[in-house]
Amino acid sequence: MKKILISVDVEEFDIPEEYGQRIPLEEKLRVSEAGVRKTLDLFVECGVRGTFSSPLSGRNISLN
């Protein structure tokens, strides 16, 4: 079996702003959190381990 290293960089969801649409910070963080949870579920389902990093300081997310 081959092993690979997976690193996930999590940032706030800001793609709409790249196209001139404003989005509140809480909405950006909510979308990012939902994406992290889906990614973690997929990792668990596939038996994958990875490292997640995020510049979203001060944001507490329980992943239990």
Strand ranges for 1-64 from DSSP E: 7-9, 51-53
Residue labelled with tokens 């889906």: 38
Q: Judge whether residue 56 has pLDDT over 80.
A: no
What average pLDDT does the chain have?
83
- Which tens digits make up the pLDDT trace of 7-25? 888 888 889 999 999 999 8
Q: Provide the pLDDT for residue 60.
A: 55
Q: Provide the pLDDT for residue 57.
A: 54
Q: Provide the pLDDT for residue 63.
A: 53
pTM for the model: 0.70
